[in-house]
Structure 1
Amino acid sequence: MNTQHMRIAVAGATGTVGRYVVQAARERGHEVVELARGRGVDLTTGEGLAARLTGVDAVVDVTSVATQRQEQAEAFFGGVTRTLLAGERAAGVGHHVALSIVGIDDVPSGYYRGKQLQERLVVEAPVGWSILRATQFHEFAEQALGFVRVGPFSLVPRMLSQPVAAVEVAGALVDLVQAGPSGRVADLAGPDRLEMVGLARRVSRARGLGRRVVGVRLPGAVGRGMRDGSLCPAGDGPRGTITFDTWVAGS
């Protein structure tokens, strides 16, 4: 594993996991270049990107978009990934690290189709690559409270998950940067399989949000996949150690 000083660019540096990637990389002595609109880089157009990739050893892509529509998800992930890969090739960056999601091949949601496209583009590119699939973050439970709100009620999908702390995902991504191009690595999940509706209720109580959580069974193959554990790891692999309760108490 390469523990020497590296220059690492983080796409989506200000997001849920991106800020932890930035923090973890700096704590290990690496130089970090933040790629985000708020830092003067537009990853959908490439504006400001070329100058920021000068001297970069690796790019970590943790970008995301708020949509469940396949067309929009594919346009975003496809566009950003192509822009990054082209910039990396031009700048001589040797390693592209992408964060993906456990179970995207088994749950046919529009968002996951976008992530599948992202993975294909990374695999087919001439740049050395690593892909880490992780389960939903602990933070997802709080986000779920705002998906559909009707007065004091939050409609949360029935979903079996094995959530992992975003800070642990970030650490695993920096590990991959230091290891060098590793291909598709073992899926990362949290320590426990849990129902998302219950997690949302626990977050609401812990935060004093006063949300009344109503579980909703989403229809079709997407709903079945969410309920039957398709978004949980199918085999052995690395597991985070921060439980959901520990995360709630500490955040």
Structure 2
Amino acid sequence: MRIAVAGATGTVGRHVVAVATERGHEVVPLARAAGVDLTTGEGLAARLEGVDVVVDVTSTRAQSRRGAEGFFGAVTRTLTAAERVAGVGHHVALSIIGIDDVPSGYYRGKRLQERLLAEGDQPWSVLRAAQFHEFAEQALGFVRIGPFSLVPVMHSQPVAAREVGEALVALAESGPSGRVADLAGPEQHRVHRMAREVSRARGLGRRVVPLPLPGAAGRAMRDGSLTAAGDPAAVLGRTTFAEWLAAGGRAG
């Protein structure tokens, strides 16, 4: 199978590439380095020749509703339009657990992405996953004041990015499935405590200050909306945060 990966160099994208290659598939990265602009479609048509399925794991730094919807809307519309022309038979997208219950700008962008796929005519699959183990280290850089890192108070159920990559490749192999069961890690954690463990293990010297975010979005982040709690259909991963950290962030 020939699999095109949008976001191939990202946290999950690199695992999608690795897993697909290990399983004998041909991988086509869709990235600026390959001359592709996913928001405008420049260079995309040539890269989709002979492709069977596109896996979209793109992300954006935009946190506002306007920025996130602008990015995910443009990428999804551009990809699916090009896929139809090229005869690509399947679009797989990675989304996030809890986006229906957390009113943040970024999550509105992800909801738009899902809606465009559901309302379009391109065969699709969507996997919602929890935050990755890597999120704890990323959180150390959100707000830095000298040696202090202000980390949002968030209840999460982190999953190994490798396992997300495995699930996405399995979806690509299975064919269009709509929205499938959510994927989360085997344990629930508080993100600021995870960040402290990462700082200690990496010798980063960051002093973590828990920051409760205001409003409905902040409350939802604290109340477990971003976990698989109460969802008996959710699939739970294998690798714990402690195992991932002990392996230097390479477990999974």
Task: Classify the TM-score, shorter chain.
Answer: over 0.9
C-alpha distance in 2, partners of 1:33/1:134? Answer: 23
The Cα offsets for residues 102-154 of structure 1, whole Å up to 9 and x where unpaired, read as 00000000000000000001111211100000000000000000000000000
SS in 1 for 2:138: helix
C-alpha distance in 1, partners of 2:53/2:120? Answer: 14
RMSD after superposition: 0.6
C-alpha distance in 2, partners of 1:74/1:214? Answer: 30
- Equivalent of 1:214, from 209, 212, 219? 209
Query: Paired residue for 1:205?
Result: 200
The Cα offsets for residues 188-224 of structure 1, whole Å up to 9 and x where unpaired, read as 0000010001000000001000000000010000000
C-alpha distance in 1, partners of 2:65/2:142? Answer: 18
C-alpha distance in 2, partners of 1:135/1:241? Answer: 13
Residue identity opposite 2:241 in structure 1: F
* Structure 2 portions without partners, runs of 5+: none
Residue identity opposite 2:177 in structure 1: S
The Cα offsets for residues 48-105 of structure 1, whole Å up to 9 and x where unpaired, read as 1000001100000000001210000000000000000000000010000000000000
Identical aligned pairs, as a percentage?
A: 72
Q: For residues 117-196 of structure 1, what are the structure 2 equivalents within 5 Å?
A: 117-196=112-191
Query: Paired residue for 2:53?
Result: 58
TM-score, length-normalised on structure 1? 0.97
Q: For residues 13-52 of structure 1, what are the structure 2 equivalents within 5 Å?
A: 13-52=8-47
Residue identity opposite 1:106 in structure 2: D
How far does residue 32 in structure 1 lie from its aligned partner after superposition?
0.3
TM-score, length-normalised on structure 2? 0.97
* Structure 1 portions without partners, runs of 5+: 1-5
Query: Paired residue for 1:105?
Result: 100
